Amino acid sequence: MARDLLNIITRYHRIQGSKELNLAVEELKEVLDGAGLSTRLLKIAPGGMKGYMEIPDGWNLKSAYLEFKVGNTVIEKFHSKDYPTLVAAHSPPGEGCGELSICTDEKCEGDVVLAKGYVYDLYKTIDAKLILVYDPKRFRDAVPYTGLFISRNEVLDKVVMNIPYTTALRLQSMLIENPALKVTVCWKVESEYSDEGILALVACNTDEPAVLYTSHICHPKPGAHDNASGSVANALIAFTLANSKNSAYFPSCHAWVPEYTGTIFLKKALKNPPKAVVNLDMVGSNQGITGSTLNIVLPPLIMDSTIAPYAYFAVKYVMDTASSFGGFKLPGVRYSITPYTAGSDHDVTIGWGWDSVMYNEWPSKYYHTNMDGLSTLSITSLIQISLASLLTGSLYYQRFKTDQVRARFKEYLKAWYGIESLKTGVNLTLVGNLIESERLLTLDKINELETPISFRLLYKKIDRDTFLRLREIRGANTYLSLYAPLGYKNGVENLMELFKQENLITWTKNEEIIINSAWSIIKDEILK
C-alpha cells in the first residue's frame, strides 16, 4: 500500500492552488474511501487573507521551455515535462528571446537577468522580461523549486524561471571570461490563473479525536520526501486504525492539507479540537541518500506538553533496532530531539494551544528540487515512522505511565541541554529554570494566535534592506512568526532571551537590533 500511494501522489505537480494538487487529493480520497475510511473534502476559496497569512490564488502550469544559445549553438535547454520545477510557482505566462545579463550590485536589469535571493523580492524589484533564479543552497545539479504565490493584482509582464546552480556558474564563468560574449535566452511559459478552490482532505473515526495527524500533501512533482512521505505515513496510520481491533483503537483525525493554507481552516473543519497533534513532514527517507536525521521537533518550552515525551519514547521503542557488541539496543537510524523550529503545519496548531509535536527529517539532499524522487525514500523507514507515530498516539490516549514518562523526559531534556550548553557555550539559566518549574503556558489557558505571522506580510511592512538582512539571521523566522507573538499574547517576559537559550543561539548586537525593529512593527501594526 505504501508504494502504491507514493506512486499516486508523486505523479502530480502539487503546487498550491493548482488542479494537480486537487487531483492528488481526490485520488487519495478514493483510495482511503475504498479502504473503509470515512473521508470528506474541504474546499478553500483562493485568494485573500486569513489571520496573518495569505491564501494563494488558483494557478496552473501547462508547459514551459528554456533554451540558452551562443550564436547558433544550443548550450543548454530545459522543458517542464522533464524539469517540473522549471517555472516559479504562480509565475505569470510569457515568451520571448533576449540577451542574458548577470545581476550585480551595480546593475540588475535587462531583457533576461540571472539572480539569486528572495524570489518575491526579485520579481518585485528587477526590471526584466525574464528573471532566472538559482539557489546555491539547493543541490547544485538540480532545478530548484521557488514560489511567487502572487495575488492577481500583482501580476506583471515578466516571467520567473529556475535553473540549476551548476548552470548558473557556467553562464557566469562564460561572461566573466569573455564580457563581449552574447548569450541568447529563449523561453516560453504557458500558465494560467484560476478561481478553482483549493482542496484539503480530512478523515476522522470520531467526533472527539484524541490525536490529530497532519501532513501537507502539496509541493512540486515529484516531491517524494517533501512531502509524499508524510502524507503516506498519515494514510498508513489512518488505515491501521480503521482496521484495528478494539484493543488497538484510539479516536483520531487525519488531515492532508496544502501547507498552512489548509491547516489554518482545520479548527472549523473539526467538530471538536484534538487533545494532541502529530505533524508528519519529510519522513521515511533513505538517510544514506538524503543525509537526513529524524528530528523530534518539540513545541516551545514555554508550553506544557505531554505528546512530545511520548513521541520521543515511541521513536526509541521502534527505531532502536541496532545492537552494540554487548547486545545493547542502539538507534538503527539517526534521530534526535530538536528545539521548536517554525516551517510547517505544527506552527498553526501550536499557536492555537494544541499540544503538538513534529516528526521531520533534515537536512535533505534534494530538498525543493526536481530530484526529490522516490529513490530518496526507504519503505522500511517509512513504515517505522508510521509505527512510531501510531504508538505515540496510542500511548498518549492510554495515558501510559504519564507521570513517569514526563519525569524521565524532563531529566533527559535537562541532560541534553546541559551537554549542548557545554558544546556551544550558551548560558542556559532561564531554560534550566523553565524545565525544572511549571511551564509558563498551560494548554487550557492559552490566548490563541489565529495564524502564524507570514514573512510575506512582514516584507510588505518593513524596509526592504532590513527584511533581506533579517532573512539571513538564524532563528529569526521562528522567533518572529510564532514564538514571540504567542508569548506576547500570553504575557511571557524575557522572550528574546528565552528563545535564544532554548535554541542555543547567540545573536550579535546588530542582529538583535534588526530583530527588535521587526518585532516592534509586528507588535504595533500587525498584532494591534
- Could you report the per-residue pLDDT of 124-135, keeping only the tens digit for each? 999 999 999 999
Taking only Cα atoms into account, the Rg of the chain, rounded to an integer number of angstroms, comes to 23
**Mean pLDDT score of the chain:** 96
Let me know whether 252 and 364 are in one domain.
Answer: yes
pLDDT given for residue 289 in this prediction: 98
Kindly state whether residue 81 falls inside one of the protein's structural domains: yes
CA–CA separation, 329 and 316 (whole Å)? 9
Strand (E) positions, 353-490?
355-362
Residue 27 burial (10 A CB sphere; 0-12, 13-18, 19+): middle
Let me know whether 282 and 347 are in one domain.
Answer: yes
Residue (of 368, 361, 362) closest to 142 by Cα position:
368
Does 97 have pLDDT greater than 90? yes
pTM of the predicted model over 0.85: yes
Kindly state whether residue 61 falls inside one of the protein's structural domains: no
Let me know whether 120 and 185 are in one domain.
Answer: yes
Kindly state whether residue 486 falls inside one of the protein's structural domains: no
Let me know whether 280 and 390 are in one domain.
Answer: yes
Let me know whether 20 and 165 are in one domain.
Answer: no
CA–CA separation, 410 and 402 (whole Å)? 12
Q: Which of 401, 422, 441 is the last residue of a domain?
A: 401
Let me know whether 247 and 308 are in one domain.
Answer: yes
Let me know whether 315 and 337 are in one domain.
Answer: yes
Angle at 53 between CA 266 and CA 158, to 5 degrees: 125
Neighbours of 249 (CB within 10 A): 16
Q: Are 484 and 453 in contact (CB under 8 A)?
A: no
472-482: pLDDT as tens digits: 999 999 999 99
368: left (phi over 0), alpha (psi -120 to 50) or beta: left
Q: Which of 401, 416, 439 is the last residue of a domain?
A: 401
Does 31 have pLDDT greater than 90? yes
pLDDT given for residue 442 in this prediction: 80
CA–CA separation, 314 and 305 (whole Å)? 15
Residue 292 sits in a domain of what CATH number?
3.40.630.10
Residues 6+ apart with CB under 8 A from 30: none
Let me know whether 207 and 113 are in one domain.
Answer: no
C-alpha cell at 292: 537526513
Mean pLDDT of all residues in 157-177: 97
pLDDT given for residue 144 in this prediction: 98
Whether cis (ω within 30° of 0) applies to the bond prior to 363 is yes
Does 305 have pLDDT greater than 80? yes
- 114 phi, psi to nearest 5 deg: -95, 125
Kindly state whether residue 460 falls inside one of the protein's structural domains: no
pLDDT band at 363 (very low <50, low <70, confident <90, very high): very high
Let me know whether 45 and 114 are in one domain.
Answer: no
Residues 111, 114, 120, 125, CA torsion sign = negative
Least confident of 56-60, 105-109, 161-165, 226-230: 105-109
Kindly state whether residue 276 falls inside one of the protein's structural domains: yes
Mean pLDDT of all residues in 148-158: 96
171-195: pLDDT as tens digits: 999 999 999 999 999 999 999 999 9
Query: What is the domain count for the chain?
Result: 2
Longest dimension (CA), the chain: 76
Report in angstroms the alpha-carbon separations of 511 from 4, 104, 471, 506, 526: 48, 25, 11, 10, 21
DSSP letter, residue 474: T
Q: How far apart are the first and last CA of the chain?
A: 49
Let me know whether 212 and 295 are in one domain.
Answer: yes
Residue (of 281, 303, 306) closest to 294 by Cα position:
281
Residue 131 sits in a domain of what CATH number?
3.50.30.30
Kindly state whether residue 350 falls inside one of the protein's structural domains: yes
Q: Calculate what percentage of the chain has a pLDDT beyond 70.
A: 99
Let me know whether 382 and 267 are in one domain.
Answer: yes
Kindly state whether residue 394 falls inside one of the protein's structural domains: yes
Kindly state whether residue 409 falls inside one of the protein's structural domains: no
Let me know whether 249 and 348 are in one domain.
Answer: yes
Domain boundaries, position 170:
72-189
Residue (of 244, 249, 251, 253) closest to 201 by Cα position:
253
CB burial of 341-370 (b: ≥16 within 10 Å; e: otherwise) equals bbbbbbbbbbbbbbbbbbbbbbebbbbbbb
pLDDT band at 247 (very low <50, low <70, confident <90, very high): low
pLDDT band at 67 (very low <50, low <70, confident <90, very high): very high
DSSP letter, residue 314: H
pLDDT given for residue 139 in this prediction: 98
Q: Are 344 and 259 in contact (CB under 8 A)?
A: yes
Q: Which of 366, 382, 401 is the last residue of a domain?
A: 401
